[in-house]
Structure formats: structure tokens, C-alpha cells
Structure 1
Amino acid sequence: MIAEAPEPNAHWRPVFWEPVAGTGERLMVGVLVQWNDQFTAHRFIRDDVLDCLYGKAAKGARTLIDTALQNLRDIAAGGALYVDTMPALYGVHPGQLRHTHAESLAEVLRTAALLYSSLTNLDKLDELEEVDAPSQEEGNRRFTTEVRDRVIAARPQLTQYFGRTAPLIDGGELTRFGFVSPRVILHFGVLSAVRQPTGLRDARARLWELFRARELSGINLAALIFGTPSAEDPTLSPRQIDAMRRNLDEIEREADSYEMRFFAVASVQAGADRVLELA
């Protein structure tokens, strides 16, 4: 006896972006989903991919894609998800409506990533040459700048504490830190899915700098805030997720050995919230 296939309980559309209008060259950048009576939008194309493709212009591309996805989500929630063709916004085009049965939203997202995503899915980014991927320093700089902007927007009086310096040895050269206030010393960085060994080395170096600066400054609280992909990101392969968990655990244990704090955050806003909490 053949079991019947379960009824679809999720409806979704892939979302494509055509950076240069009229060329027909599209990137799969996200998905619109209706699951469990909720309409959601999810960006699939990762920050490290946009950094690699657009360099300093990546922030503008992220803003455009995120804005388009949220506006399309609102349009979809109004009933447009189910029409033959949804409208495009800012060069961002919803694709064909698809149906599937899923046990969770994460399962819907992973199905979409497997079926449609090229630049964003699974092990593809592992194949990037080291020289092609955005450098560790570029990623750190972008994350630090965006966290700083969010913090200053919330509490302008904290501006003076960003980018301050402190010595690591008596009479030595000053080292620049992400944030130094009378209460806390902070470093910022990123652990990219495609440059994990580099990110791990960078975290270790920054922990040592925090340890030395804390000893000399007399400031008791020191912490490392690292931007990381979410473990629920459907564009990450199981191999990348396993490596990420191992590396984050190692960084946290090393921070504990210095009696310092380590915070892995999956968004700029989460990083800014940590600064506001610690400042």
C-alpha cells in the first residue's frame, strides 16, 4: 500500500535581484514564505558574498535588498503571494509560487536554498579562493562601523569611546580598540563562514590584546564581540555549521581562560545591544 504524500502546508516564492536592469542576469537573494499562518521574508545572499561582489558598495546593496524583501513581504501578506505574478521592487523580482510540506520554517528555508540558490547555498562558498573572499580586516571594519552607527544613534554620548587606544606594555605603542570607556574595553570582529581559520586566529589575537590592556588600564571588564552567521542560516552547509560551533566554543573557552567575556552575535543590532548593555 502506497502512503499518500502529505498535503503542502507551506507556500513560498524565491526572490531574485537583477543588479543591472535589462541584462537578464539575476542573483537569488531571498525568499518569501507563508508558513503556520505567518508571512516572512528572508535574505539568503550572505554579507560575505556581497562584500566579495561589491566591496565598499556592499552596504548599499544590503540595504536595497533588505528593504525590498520587507516591502514584498507586506505585499505578499495582503494576498499577492498567491497571484500569478507578484510585482518587482527596486530590481528585486519574486519568482514562481512553490508549495511544500515542512515540519518547521527552517525546513522550508532549506528547501528553497537547495532548489534555487547558487551563490548563497551550502558548500559553494567554500570553493572561493582565499584572495577572492573579503579579507578579515574588511569584515571587521564593516561590522565595527555598523555597530558604532547603531550605538551612536541610540546614545550619542558614547561617540567619544569608539576607536580609542590603550597600551599593551609599559611605555609601548598604543593599540586601537573598538570601544574603551571607564567601565569596559571592547574589541569587535567577525567569524565568516568562508574564512573561519583566519577569524579564529584574529579572535585569539584580540583576546590577548584585551587581556593586556585590561591589566594595564585597571578596567575590570573586557569583552570580545564577534559577528557570526546564525546556526539556523539555511545557506550554511552542515560542515560549515559544525566548524562554526567548534570555533565559537574554542573562542569562548579561551576567553574564559582570560576571565573575559565573549559574545557571538548574529546581527549588527545584536552587537550594538551588547555595547549598550556593557557601556
Structure 2
Amino acid sequence: MVGVVYSFAGEFCAARTIRKDVLDCLFGKSSAGILNLIDESLRAAQAASMALGGLDSLCSPIFGLVPGELRATQSKSPRDLIETACLLYSSLVNLDKLDEADENDAPQQEEVNRRFGTEVRLEVLKIRPALVSGFGNGAQLVPGGQRVRFGFSSPKAIIHFTVLHPVRHSGSMKDARAKIFELQQARKLSGVGVAALIAGTPRLDDPTLGSKQRDQLRDNQLEIESEADAVNLRWYSAHSASEGALRVVELAD
């Protein structure tokens, strides 16, 4: 994915989601022409959607760029919408305007997890609609305690979703550990055969990650995997919502 054409609050807009330096790495001296082609294609797609009054008309290639599937999100802002598209479709994206984001600018862990879980659910329902009843269920882990909501639960499997964030390391690790504990308790109380944590993660070879981010992400994945193995829980890394959905279907069958 190289860009997003979207409608928000009645306005049609377009945003390039692949950085210039990534194109430089991929195409060398030819990157300038490719960058211009991408930007011009996105402008043309934006103009076409404005002229036709909708995005559903964008179904043919525009200067070589092929429009993807039309999606509807529950985003609160254009930035939220674009981040959702990036998480769903590609790890080779990183908006220039988000490059300077630090830990304070990053979305809250709960928001990121909810977005990832929602997109996984949508992908699962596309390929296995019968699993709809498994989403949004909860269980009481201690007598008299509040019900804990899981990403997916069925007689065969209990699954939590989380995201290992390349910026907000401490928050994502704390959330992953808490969910390992909840899965451990739920499996003990329910006797279900499979308890798993599915984590949305960037690819370690993602060229948009810095070396420190890549090293930290690798360390975090190994640590959470070890902690899950120690209590006999399954751990899966998913680079997109569609990968996460395939894991859910595999575990639920």
C-alpha cells in the first residue's frame, strides 16, 4: 500500500503513506519519478471521488495504482482512519507527519488494541461468519470479580489480542503481560484446551523502523514469547489483521 483515499466528515482526501526515504531505498535514482507518480495518482483519485460523490466508483487503476477494497471504519479523526488503514493493509507505511511522534504522541495502548481487535474480527467474519458469536464475550476470573472481556472465546479456544508498539514499549509490554495472566486464569477456570495471545507487530525487516526500534521490538517479542511458553500459552505474531484472522480461524476449528 502506498496511499489512502478516504472520506471523513463529508470531505474527500488522499494521503501518501509510504515515505520518500523508503522509496529511495527500494528504487534508488528512479525514486523521484515513482514518488511523483504516486502523488499524482492520489490527487487524481481524490479528484475523481469528489466529482463522483463517492469512493465506490474508484475501481479501475489510476496511473498504474490499483485501488484496494473499500472499507468503513469507526475512526474519530483522519489520522485515526489512516493509521487503521496502515495497520490493516501494510507494514511498509509510515506517514511523514507521524515520523516525529514520540511516546507521548502515540495512541493509547487500549485504543490501539481495540482497533486491531476490531479489524481482526472483521477479517474473521469475512471468511468464517459462523464465528461471530465468539467475539465480545467475557468471563469472571475470580469469585465476585468483574467479568473480563476476551478478544475471542469458544468451547475450543480463548484468545486475547494485543499490539506490540514500536514506540510505546512499556505500555504494550505491560498490556501483553496482563493478558497472559488473564488467559492463564481463564484456562484454569474453564478447562478450555487452547489459550492464545495474538499480537499485532511490525515486521522486523520493516525499513521504516530505526535500528533501536527494531532491536527493542525483537527483544520484546522474545520476552513475551518466553513468558507465554512458561505457562503453556500459545503466542502468535501477526503482521496484519488478516494474518491475525487466520490464526483465530485455525485455533477455533
TM-score normalised by structure 2 residue count = 0.66
One-letter amino acid of the structure 1 residue matched with residue 170 of structure 2: P
**Could you say if the C-alpha distance between residues 232 and 161 of structure 1 is closer, same or farther in structure 2, counting changes exceeding 3 Å?**
same
SS class of match (1:192): coil
Asked whether the equivalents of residues 189 and 203 of structure 1 are also in contact (C-alpha less than 8 Å), the reply is yes
Q: Which runs of 5+ in 1 are unaligned?
A: 1-7, 23-38, 42-50, 70-108
Which residue of 93, 118, 132 maps to 1:159?
132
> Are 2:241 and 1:217 aligned?
no
Contact 1:203 1:251 in 2 (8 A): yes
- 2:178 maps to 205
- TM-score, L = length of structure 1: 0.61
Secondary structure in 2 aligned to 1:275? helix
Distance change (3 Å), C-alpha of 1:162 and 1:9: same
Q: Which letter maps to 2:108? A: S
Q: In the alignment, which of 180, 195, 220 is matched to residue 153 of structure 2? A: 180
- 2:81 pairs with 1:57: yes
- Deviation per CA, 1:42-76, whole angstroms, max 9, x where unpaired? xxxxxxxxx8973543367659xx7xx9xxxxxxx
User: Would the aligned equivalents of 2:103 and 2:167 in 1 still touch at CA under 8 Å?
Assistant: no
2:244 matches 1:271: yes
CA contact (8 A) 1:188 1:224 kept: yes
| Aligned-partner SS, 1:245 | helix
Give unpaired runs (5+ residues) of structure 2: 1-26, 48-63, 67-74
RMSD: 3.4
- Per the alignment, residue 128 of structure 1 pairs with 102
In 2, the alpha carbon distance for the partners of 1:60 and 1:161 equals 23
Percent of aligned pairs with the same amino acid: 42
Secondary structure of 1:223 counterpart: strand
Change (3 A) 1:176 1:237: same
Match of 2:142, as an amino acid?
A: I
Larger radius of gyration: 1
- Is the 2:103–2:168 contact (alpha carbons within 8 Å) kept by the matching residues of 1? no
Distance 1:175 1:254 in 2: 21
Q: Distance in 2 between matches of 1:165 and 1:133?
A: 28
Give 1:47's aligned residue.
none
Whole-angstrom distance in 1 between the partners of 2:190 and 2:84: 38
CA contact (8 A) 1:204 1:251 kept: yes
User: Going by fraction, where is strand more abundant, 1 or 2?
Assistant: 1
Give the ranges of 4+ consecutive aligned residues of structure 1 lying more than 4 Å apart after TM superposition. 8-11, 59-63
From the superposition, tell whether residues 9 and 61 of structure 1 become closer, same or farther in structure 2 (CA, over 3 Å). closer
Structure-2 separation of matches of 1:243 and 1:198: 13
Contact 2:157-2:194 at 8 Å conserved across structures: yes
- Counterpart of 1:259? 232
What residue is the counterpart of 1:86 in the other structure?
A: none
CA–CA separation in structure 2 for the residues paired with 1:239 and 1:40: 33
1:243-266 deviation digits (Å, cap 9, x = unpaired): 000000000000011100111111
Instruction: Say whether the 8 Å CA contact 1:191–1:227 is kept in structure 2.
Output: yes
- CA drift of 1:230 comes to 0.8
Q: Distance in 2 between matches of 1:252 and 1:40?
A: 38
